[in-house]
Amino acid sequence: MTIGATIRQLRQEQDITQEQLAEALGITSRAVSQWETDRTAPDISQLPALANFFDVTTDHLLGVDIKHKEEELNKIYSRINKYGEKGDQKGLEKYIREQLKTYPNDPVLLTHLASALREYYFGQCNADTEKLKKEKSNEIIALCERALKYYKPTENNSFPKQQLIIHYIYDLHDKEKAKEIVMSLPNVGCTREMFLSELYEGKEALARRQAALLWSFTQMMHNLFWNISCDDSYTYEQKIEILKADDAIKEIITGGKPNFFNCELSVNAATEAAYYLKLGEKEKALDMLEAAYCYADSFETCPDGGKYAPCWLSELDDGQISISKPCPDTAYDSVYNIIIKPENIFCEAFDGSERFERVMEKFKEKISDKKCVPDFTPT
């Protein structure tokens, strides 16, 4: 069988049109047609991309075998995590576009590119014209929809759905389109975290249950508490009460050693300080600002792989989670940004206060000079 016939057979078996194959490879559908009729053949430089597109071995096309492909993709995913830890979304965009030349139909790469574009152009507000916003929005949506087509029925396709939901709700304010995707998701009782541990025995099963408790459900509760506290129907006193309930749950679950969650505690504390100030309780506001600095400092100076104290988290440490930031800045910047917001009137209210100036000096020593402030708060 010729290479053209092989391409035609693989394409038909996978129910892919010539146009879809051409789009993925960045060529014309006419070129694909000519391959399949053996009028021309793919250039040798296109063979790896073709092999990866159809998920075939070198027995079919002169590309790479499946095992080698998985190894290479895992290396790429690890590199993506490194970019995420630095918050370098522009660098990440460039890196993924280069990898997609070889793996044009990998849904994880496609979705990571959509995520990087969303963080850089919408999260960091670098889409400074309506034309650019529309262009990047269309690309984000197209990438996620393309990724969804390439997931196999047995694979978890929640990543592109998550990106689409976030983009529709927070960037485009189109809740109807978001609702269509949200309603396709399982409820909390039917998630991977609920059942994954049942597939294992002994220590591995225990570690899976602990990870679900700490990373998934604690984070989910934080998101819910935060969004509830933002509702305008609550008084400032009630908003403080809600955030303190969130703080208390983190302290209980982590046994008083919140490690990774110190970044969220720092934002909560700074927000509580703003509410206390609006209530005229200046001393409590200063107490919470000092607490916010301590939480931020604990987060930024925590050693890699920090262990958790309680016995119910015995198998876990911070080295088991990758922290992805939307931009290169720190927890100090996040809190400082809350302090200097004009509507929070900290600088005005504490003009001449030595205690406030000491807190501000600590932050000024730590904050970066980047223009973007990291969003450690839930969206």
Mean pLDDT of all residues in 253-269: 92
Tell me what pLDDT residue 265 has: 96
CB 22 within 8 A of CB 50: no
Sequence-ordered list of residues with C-beta below 8 angstroms from that of 377, at least 6 positions apart, any chain? 226, 264, 267, 334
pTM attached to this predicted model: 0.72
Instruction: Say whether both 263 and 324 belong to one domain.
Output: yes
pLDDT tens track for 328-346: 778 999 999 999 998 989 9
User: Which residues are CB-neighbours of 372 under 8 A, at least 6 positions away?
Assistant: 87, 124, 326, 327, 328, 329
Counted domains in the chain: 3
Residue span of the structural domain in which 129 resides: 90-185
pLDDT in tens, 17-57: 999 999 988 899 999 999 889 899 888 888 888 888 888 76
pLDDT tens digit string along 142-170?
999 999 998 877 788 999 999 999 999 99
Tokens 């939480």 -> residue: 295
Confidence of residue 370 (pLDDT cuts 50, 70, 90): very low
Residue 224 CA to residue 138 CA, distance in Å, equals 29
Whose tokens are 């087509």? That residue is 149
3-state DSSP assignment of residue 340:
helix
- For residue 127, the domain's CATH number is 1.25.40
* pLDDT at residue number 107: 95
Residue matched to tokens 């980047």: 370
Instruction: Calculate the alpha carbon distances from 1 to 55, 60, 372 in Å.
Output: 18, 9, 56
Q: Does residue 170 sit in the same domain as residue 266?
A: no
Answer whether residue 226 is part of any domain. yes
Q: Which residues lie below 8 Å from residue 88, measured CB to CB, with a gap of 6+?
A: 328
CATH code for the domain in which residue 12 is found = 1.10.260.40
- Three-class SS state of 22: helix
Is the pLDDT score of 268 beyond 80? yes
| Whether the predicted pLDDT of 266 surpasses 50 | yes
Do the Cβ atoms of 322 and 304 come closer than 8 Å? no
Residue 191: Cβ within 10 Å count:
16
Same domain, 257 and 296: yes
The better pLDDT of the pair 13, 217 is held by 217
Q: Are residues 355 and 249 in the same domain?
A: yes
Amino acid at 211: A
- Residue 21 makes CB contacts below 8 A (sequence gap 6+) with 7, 11, 29, 32, 53
pLDDT-derived band at 63 (thresholds 50, 70, 90) equals very low
**Chain segment 79-128, per-residue pLDDT in tens:** 999 998 888 999 999 999 999 998 988 999 999 999 999 999 999 999 99
For residue 167, with 0-12 CB atoms within 10 Å meaning exposed, 13-18 middle and 19 or more buried, which class applies? buried
Amino acid at 273: A
Question: pLDDT value at position 302?
Answer: 83
- Tell me, yes or no, whether 108 and 252 share the same domain: no
**Confidence band for 171, pLDDT divided at 50, 70 and 90:** very high
pLDDT (tens digit, 9 = 90+) per residue, 215-225? 888 989 999 99
Average pLDDT, the chain: 88
